[in-house]
Amino acid sequence: MSLEPRPHQAMREGAEFDTIRALMARWGDLAVDIGDDAAVLAPSPHGTRVVSVDACVEDVHFRRAWISAREVGVRAAVAALSDLAAMGARAEYVLIAFVIPDAWREELSEVADGMGAVIREAGARIVGGNLSQGAVFSITTTVVGCAQRAVSRSGARAGDLVVVTGLLGGPGAAIQAWDAGESPTAWSRGRFAAPAPRWAEGEALALAGASAMIDISDGLAGDARHVAAASGVRLDLDASRVPAGPGIAAAVAMQSGEEYELLACIPEEAYKKLAMDWAAISIGPLTVVGVVRDGADASPTSTASPVAGGFDHFASVEIPR
């Protein structure tokens, strides 16, 4: 962290500013120099600046009955920070904008605690944001990080291996259970309610020579299509090799969104070297699930089962009830 903690700006009285003061008290030294019109960030001597923004909206990304207010905060922070991990970057700064209906006011402190826990673990600091009243609760999180070597979606080359981190399918299985009026397994619920950004894994893959990378937020099948389209190649995936979680069907593991694991394309020799050290980098596996091929058809195929398109934020505006 290159930004030294400084005193917050003085703010006048009023409900909005009382809420900001309450959030600052909740976050303690995690929030720095709050109260100005914009944050002033120090130059980074460590690499390339990487910036992303993500929105978490009630009844689009979660339902209130499914998870606690603290878990809502965890998921919102993870979703934004995972975008940095997908570029091989580490987080430095975070800005948070809340839209707060009256029904959420008393739970905002729990949301803040969940976000704060994830941001503190990331080694970042909260440097600003915004508050607004509205009909639907939402959190928009902007993250700023730094990468020694930033990796985009567009560099996959024919012959690269396609690899994924961790075990897949938990969030999809949890949503299926809730939609059926059932309780998800503890593992599936945990993967939905308390995911973890793969900072160390993303950085390691980037430094090892990954040619393309993306976080699995739209599902493995959908995100493989994003990489294929950006790189102008075809990704051949073997559904039988996809690392599914306990009791998870391969089809669910292929399409489950909001995993926040990573999909990467990497030369075979670089993968072999990285695999030797992987146990020291991550508690989860690194699994080869396919290969990159030349081809004008820039969409993934599967040697084991048809690959559906993955999650579409606009084709599915609301989680099915």
231 and 300 in contact (C-beta within 8 Å)?
Answer: no
129 annotated as a binding-site residue: yes
- The answer on whether 132 is annotated among ligand-binding residues is no
Q: Give me the DSSP letters along 34-56.
A: TTSSS---PPPSSSEEEEEEEEE
311 is in an annotated binding site: yes
**What SS3 string covers 115-168?**
HHHHHHHHCCEEEEEEEEECCCCEEEEEEEEEECCCCCCCCCCCCCEEEEECCE
Residue 258 labeled ligand binder:
yes
Q: What tokens were used for 255?
A: 């399409």
Cα separation of the two ends of the chain: 43
C-alpha span between 264 and 314 (Å, rounded): 25
Task: Tell whether 240 is in a known binding site.
Answer: no
State yes or no: 294 annotated in a binding site: no
The answer to whether 133 and 99 have CB atoms below 8 angstroms apart is yes
Q: Is 277 assigned to a binding site?
A: no
Q: What region, left, alpha or beta, does residue 267 occupy, with left being phi > 0 and alpha being psi -120 to 50 degrees? A: beta
Torsions phi, psi of 304, nearest 5?
A: -120, -30
| Residue 150 contacts residue 48 (beta carbons within 8 Å) | yes
Confirm or deny that 191 is annotated as ligand binding: no
Give the dihedral of Cα atoms 241, 246, 251, 256; nearest 10 deg. -110
Residue 68 counted as an annotated binding residue: no
Number of Cβ atoms within 10 Å of the Cβ of 206: 22
61 is in an annotated binding site: yes
Q: Report whether 105 belongs to an annotated binding site.
A: no
CA distance 37 to 39: 7
Half-sphere exposure of 274 (CA within 13 A, CB side): 28
Residues placed in the known binding site for Mg(2+) = 37, 52, 54, 83, 130, 215, 218
Residues placed in the known binding site for substrate = 61, 258, 311
Residues placed in the known binding site = 37, 52, 54, 61, 83, 129-130, 153, 215, 217-218, 258, 311
Residues placed in the known binding site for ATP = 129-130, 153, 217
